[in-house]
Amino acid sequence: MFLIEKIPRDEEAPTTEVGNLPCDIEIWRKNIKETILEGLHKPWTPQFCRNLGNARNFGCSGQITNFKPHHNLIFVVEKSLSSQKGPCSQHKTITVFQQTATQKFDLISTILHQNSIDLYVGKTCSHEDQQKFVPKQNQTVTALPKSESFVLKNAADLSPISNLTQEIKNFKDQNTNILTIRKTLTKNINAIKNEQVEAQNELENMQAEVKIHERACLVLDNPKENTSKLETLIRSTLERRKNLDQQWQEFRKPMLNTIEGLRTAKHLLKTKNVKEFQETIKQLEIALEEKKAQQKQLATELKTIANDGAAPRKEYIKRILEFISNIRKQRNDIYKVLDDTRDLQKQLNSLSAQLQRQFCYTDDLLFQTAKHDV
């Protein structure tokens, strides 16, 4: 909308410039296109980084950058015609990114520059587009043919990419060299550490040998005195050893006695258990022989019964039913006896209660008569 507002109106145009109005409109259209292209070809900054002007130092002492787009970005020199501009264009021009910064989302910036290489290509393409909209007064005529100009433009487009690829290759070579140097240094450090450990072990062994040699040298300085001292030390060590042996024997005897007692007790328990097992085995053998004899008798009886002919099954069933009926009769008789005993128990309880009351009543009468007599 601000670009539409910049277009001069008939009311605002002065009376002297009424004849040149169509030319002015064309010039203003060209200027509007130039401003739009300049805003589009500027590098994109994220929306949260806009209008945040905290200067920061990124490693280098002199390289300080500002996150404000109007401080940071490279502006193309505006080819303005101050004489032809009207009063509507005197206020501050707003870029396309400043227009879209108020919105919650930013589609123009994401669509334009998807990669850093697009920036270089966009910059080179923008010059061709700008030359179409520049007025004829500011354009300079070139004497080169079309083919040569196209080759130069392609070379100019590819020069930053080739420089970047060459720098990347150089950095890769440097990185590989540094890695090889690092590997060699780590190998050398490990070898030096191993040598250090070996040297420490050798030094400890040498120190022990040196101590032994020092003691031998001290002994050899005064052989008589030192030999006598060594003899006394040997005697004292022998005596000490004898004392230790005696103490050990004194301490060992009760322990050996306890061990022998435990062994004998264990042996006795084992013998008892063995005897008990033998007795149980004999008893089981006797019981087994008896059961075998019973089995033989039953087998012979079964054979004799099978030969004689056993009673039919109905007779056994009748006998079983008779037994059941007799059991029921006995049960009913038992229930009757129990009922009689309950009744008798109730009668006994009532009679015992009556007797108790009578005894209490007689005691009261005796007490009253005795009191009356007194």
Strand (E) or helix (H) holding 74: none
Determine the Cα–Cα distance for residues 159 and 165; give it in Å rounded to an integer.
10
pLDDT greater than 90 at residue 40:
no
Using DSSP's 3-state secondary structure scheme, residue 64 falls into strand
Determine the Cα–Cα distance for residues 177 and 209; give it in Å rounded to an integer.
48
Q: Which residue has the tokens 């054979």?
A: 303
Determine the Cα–Cα distance for residues 147 and 150; give it in Å rounded to an integer.
5
List, for residues 93-124, the tens digit of each pLDDT value: 555 545 554 444 444 444 444 444 444 444 44
Q: Whose CA is closest to 38, among 7, 94, 76, 1?
A: 76
- How many other CB atoms sit within 10 Å of the CB of residue 35? 19
- How many other CB atoms sit within 10 Å of the CB of residue 89? 17
**DSSP code at position 83:** T
CB 6 within 8 A of CB 29: no
pLDDT band at 41 (very low <50, low <70, confident <90, very high): confident
Q: Which residue has the tokens 């059941």?
A: 324
Q: Comparing 65 with 314, which gets the higher pLDDT?
A: 314
pLDDT greater than 60 at residue 244:
yes
Q: Whose CA is closest to 100, among 51, 47, 36?
A: 47
Determine the Cα–Cα distance for residues 116 and 121; give it in Å rounded to an integer.
9
In this structure, of 212-221, 271-280, 302-311, the range with the lowest mean pLDDT score is 302-311
Q: Check residue 12 and give its pLDDT.
A: 47
CB 83 within 8 A of CB 16: no
pTM for the whole thing?
0.24
230: amino acid identity, one letter: L
191: amino acid identity, one letter: A
Non-local CB neighbours of 75 within 8 Å, separated by 6+ positions:
38, 42
Q: Comparing 223 with 337, which gets the higher pLDDT?
A: 337
